[in-house]
Amino acid sequence: MTLKDKIHSEALAHLHLDGKDLDLVIHKGTVGPRVIDVGKLYKETGHFTYDPGFTSTASCKSKITYIDGAAGVLLHRGYPIEQLAEQSTYLETCYLLLNGELPSKKELLKYRMQITKHTMLHEQMTSFYKGFRRDAHPMAIMCGVVGAMSAFYHDSTDISDPRQRTVAANRMIAKMPTIAAMAYKYSIGQPISYPRNDLSYTGNFLKMCFGNPCEEFQVNEVVARALDRIFILHADHEQNASTATVRLASSSGANPFACIAAGIACLWGPAHGGANEAALNMLEEIGTVDRIPEYIAKAKDKTSGFRLMGFGHRVYKNFDPRALVMRKTCHEVLESIGREDDPLLKVALELERIALEDDYFIKKKLYPNIDFYSGITLRAIGFPVSMFTVLFAVARTVGWLAQWKEMIEDSEQRIGRPRQLYIGEPLRQFVPISQRN
Ligand code: SDX
């Protein structure tokens, strides 16, 4: 069934403007808010809609992810995130997001082999890393290396060819952990560690990050399973800023590697994927439970410019369901490595308790989001703060690719080109420098 078939155009919205009446079609999806189709508004009325930040704008149709912010619901192809996090694996979730259905045993085995066989990076790309300063932020390295992939994998850049789209998606999902691990190794001056085909997706990633040539690396299966669950939690999230960036970049026909690099760059911002790094830095700055009231007061003082990182969400006005699973996973990891008394966890739990009882946060419906607990967990596993958003990017790659693929296959999609409300100077004549003071 095409995307078009899944839409039911029904009631009309009546607009009375400048003495004219205009009927706008209302579309209804499977579930969630209906949309008013304003596609003909400018042509019929000479007016644009105005919605900075797109708080009331649906940019596309999609069958991939559904979020009910008020109820704290997140579904991927109809399956609740809690069930996927508990019962699925990241690669099985990748298959689901990309293909729309859970794989059979045979399909999953084949898909796992396809990904495993693509984990190596073109050897010449390793020279890229040597061009960066040792203290380069790994996200800067990731933006550069992923953007350069179109120079090495040119045979999977023709987005009109479904086979090349599949190869590009497999290559991205398979190589992102290798690229991320190489950025980490480079930053700590250790030799890069090559992927192994006998390890799981996250076991391989842990080995490439924390293994070394001097000894056999033993995968901690509890940590590998926890990291796999963290990847599932971060896999896709509807039309968030970085996904919207990937869709907009793809709408011009740019190659998939360049579009994913654009998504990585957008994710890096502290208001988005960079919040896990910012949240951990904030917890470290708070340091002890007795300093929490000082920071709660700062977060409520508009003039401070300070926000509780890891709190609030554009869509969730209830608990972020991923944050609840993330908090449980955080406890499991800390327990498994004997760090359940981590002082930062104490600060995080107390900060969450106080904030959730505070009128300011209750009124503004500010709850912990996925980034609040992920930082503590990743730090406990052994990742430096600078790698937190890199891991978010590794996990989100499948969401970007699923949305990219859906956009290319949507016959209604065309190049994204928003308009504006112009508030600049009216027409005026140029004054040559000889006539100016
Ligand atoms: C992610 O979109 C996605 O789906 C993103 C994501 C994904 O999976 O892709 O879920 C991942 O990006 C999660 C969000 C991570 N960011 C942070 O944790 C940074 C801290 N949070 C924010 O800056 C903020 O809450 C946003 C950016 C997440 C949401 O911003 P909005 O929807 O534009 O809300 P807003 O900035 O207009 O804030 C509304 C009000 C404001 O007060 P008023 O002007 O109404 O008086 O709430 C206040 C804000 O000052 N507010 C906060 C706050 N977040 C919002 N006050 C204190 N601390 C905060 N964290």
pLDDT over threshold 90, residue 103:
yes
Ligand 1 atom 40: residue of nearest CA: 364
Mean pLDDT score, 131-140? 94
- What is the model's pLDDT at position 97? 98
Tell me the C-alpha to C-alpha distance, in Å, between residue 178 and each of 12, 13, 190, 245, 401: 51, 51, 14, 24, 18
The H or E element containing residue 36 is strand 35-36
Checking 197-202 for CB contacts under 8 A at 24+ apart, the result is 197/116, 197/117, 197/119, 200/224, 200/228, 201/89, 201/90, 201/91, 201/115, 201/177, 201/228, 201/231, 202/90, 202/177, 202/227, 202/228, 202/231
| C-beta neighbour count of 112 within 10 angstroms | 18
* Ligand 1 pocket member 309 (CB < 6 A): yes
First-to-last C-alpha distance (Å) of the chain: 68
Does residue 158 have an active-site annotation?
no
* Ligand 1 pocket member 364 (CB < 6 A): yes
Percent of the chain scoring above 90 in pLDDT: 85
| The two three-digit tokens of residue 283, written as one number | 């917890």
Active-site annotation holder among 137, 313, 320, 342: 313
- What is the model's pLDDT at position 341? 83
Nearest ligand 1 atom to alpha carbon 241? 2
| Angstrom distance (rounded) from CA 137 to CA 92 | 31
| C-beta neighbour count of 20 within 10 angstroms | 9
| The two three-digit tokens of residue 119, written as one number | 């984990």
The residue whose CB lies within 8 Å of the most ligand 1 atoms, and thus the one to mutate among 246, 316, 369, is 369
Ligand 1 atom 31: residue of nearest CA: 314
* Ligand 1 pocket member 312 (CB < 6 A): yes
Per-residue confidence band for 345, with pLDDT thresholds at 50, 70 and 90: confident
Per-residue confidence band for 339, with pLDDT thresholds at 50, 70 and 90: confident
Cβ pair 167, 161 in contact under 8 A: no
> Edge to edge, what strands does the sheet with 35-36 contain?
8-17, 20-28, 35-36
Mean pLDDT score, 317-337? 91
Q: Give pTM, 2 decimals.
A: 0.93
Mean pLDDT score, 314-337? 90
* Ligand 1 pocket member 399 (CB < 6 A): no
Q: For residue 74, which amino acid is it?
A: L
Mean pLDDT score, 132-144? 94
Q: Please tell me the number of Cα atoms within 13 Å of 81 on its side-chain side.
A: 27
Cα 307 to ligand 1 centre (Å): 8
* Ligand 1 pocket member 237 (CB < 6 A): yes
* Strand, helix or coil for residue 239: coil
**Residue 166: Cβ-neighbour burial (10 angstroms; 0-12, 13-18, 19+):** middle
- What is the model's pLDDT at position 6? 53
pLDDT over threshold 90, residue 356:
no
Torsions phi, psi of 57, nearest 5? -120, 125
The residue whose CB lies within 8 Å of the most ligand 1 atoms, and thus the one to mutate among 314, 326, 351, 354, is 314
26, β-bridge pairs: 36
Burial letters 385-411, b for 16+ CB under 10 A, else e:
bbbbbbbbbbbbbbbbbbbbbbbbebe
| The two three-digit tokens of residue 327, written as one number | 């908090």
Per-residue confidence band for 10, with pLDDT thresholds at 50, 70 and 90: low
Per-residue confidence band for 1, with pLDDT thresholds at 50, 70 and 90: very low
The H or E element containing residue 12 is strand 8-17
Cβ pair 308, 253 in contact under 8 A: no
Ligand 1 atom 51: residue of nearest CA: 312
| Angstrom distance (rounded) from CA 308 to CA 68 | 23
Torsions phi, psi of 214, nearest 5? -85, -15
With CA atoms as reference, report the closest residue to 280 among 361, 193, 205, 381: 381
| The two three-digit tokens of residue 390, written as one number | 């890199």
The H or E element containing residue 349 is helix 343-357
Does residue 313 have an active-site annotation?
yes
- What is the model's pLDDT at position 7? 64
- The predicted-structure confidence for 11-60, as pLDDT tens digits, reads as follows 899 999 999 999 999 999 999 999 999 999 999 999 999 999 999 999 99
- What is the model's pLDDT at position 211? 96
* Ligand 1 pocket member 165 (CB < 6 A): no
The mean predicted confidence, pLDDT, of the chain is 93
- The predicted-structure confidence for 246-257, as pLDDT tens digits, reads as follows 999 999 999 999
* Ligand 1 pocket member 322 (CB < 6 A): no
| Angstrom distance (rounded) from CA 231 to CA 364 | 29
Window from 164-168, 264-268, 315-319 with minimum mean pLDDT? 315-319
* Ligand 1 pocket member 395 (CB < 6 A): no
